[in-house]
Amino acid sequence: MLIDYLMNNMGLTHKKAKQVLTNKQVLVNNKVITKYNYLIKDKDEVSIKEYGNSKINNIDIIYEDKDIIVVNKPSGILTIASSSEKEKTLYHLVGTYLKERNKFAKVFIIHRLDKDTSGIVMFAKNDKVKKLYQDKWNDIVKYRGYVAILEGILPKEKDTIKLNLDDSDEFKVRVSKSGKEAITEYKVIKTNNNLSLVDINLHTGRRNQIRVTFSYLNHPVLGDFKYGSKVKAKRLMLHAYKLSVINPFTKKEMVFETKTPKEFNNYLK
The CATH number given to 1-49 is 3.10.290.10
Whether 254 contacts 143, CB under 8 Å:
no
| Cα–Cα distance measured from residue 209 to residue 92, given in angstroms and rounded to the nearest whole number | 26
What 104-111 contacts at long range (C-beta under 8 Å, 24+ apart), as own/partner pairs, is 105/11, 107/69, 109/79, 109/80, 110/68, 110/134, 110/137, 111/137, 111/205
pLDDT at residue 84, as a whole number: 59
Is pLDDT above 70 for 146? yes
**pLDDT tens figures, 20-78:** 888 788 888 888 898 888 988 877 888 887 554 445 557 888 998 889 999 999 999 99
pLDDT at residue 86, as a whole number: 55
Of residues 269 and 139, more confidently modeled = 139
The CATH number given to 143-239 is 3.30.2350.10
Range list for CATH 3.10.290.10 in the chain: 1-49
Under the banding of pLDDT at 50, 70 and 90, the label for residue 232 is confident
Is pLDDT above 60 for 83? no
Q: Mean pLDDT across the stretch 167-179?
A: 91
Of residues 110 and 40, more confidently modeled = 110
Q: Mean pLDDT across the stretch 244-267?
A: 91
Residues that are catalytic: 114
pLDDT at residue 29, as a whole number: 85
Is pLDDT above 90 for 108? yes
pLDDT at residue 57, as a whole number: 59
| Cα–Cα distance measured from residue 174 to residue 57, given in angstroms and rounded to the nearest whole number | 38
| Side chain identity, residue 167 | D
| DSSP string covering 136-158 | THHHHEEEEEEEEEEES--SSSE
**pTM for the model:** 0.80
Q: Mean pLDDT across the stretch 217-245?
A: 95
Of residues 17 and 76, more confidently modeled = 76
Of residues 240 and 85, more confidently modeled = 240
| Cα–Cα distance measured from residue 204 to residue 46, given in angstroms and rounded to the nearest whole number | 31
pLDDT at residue 54, as a whole number: 46
pLDDT at residue 53, as a whole number: 42
Q: Mean pLDDT across the stretch 104-111?
A: 93
When the candidates are 3.40.50.1700, 3.40.50.300, 3.30.420.40, 3.30.2350.10, the CATH number that belongs to 50-135 is 3.30.2350.10
Range list for CATH 3.30.2350.10 in the chain: 50-135, 143-239
**pLDDT tens figures, 113-145:** 999 999 999 999 999 999 999 998 989 999 999
Is pLDDT above 70 for 85? no
**pLDDT tens figures, 174-229:** 999 999 999 999 999 999 989 999 999 999 999 999 999 999 999 999 999 999 99
pLDDT at residue 222, as a whole number: 97
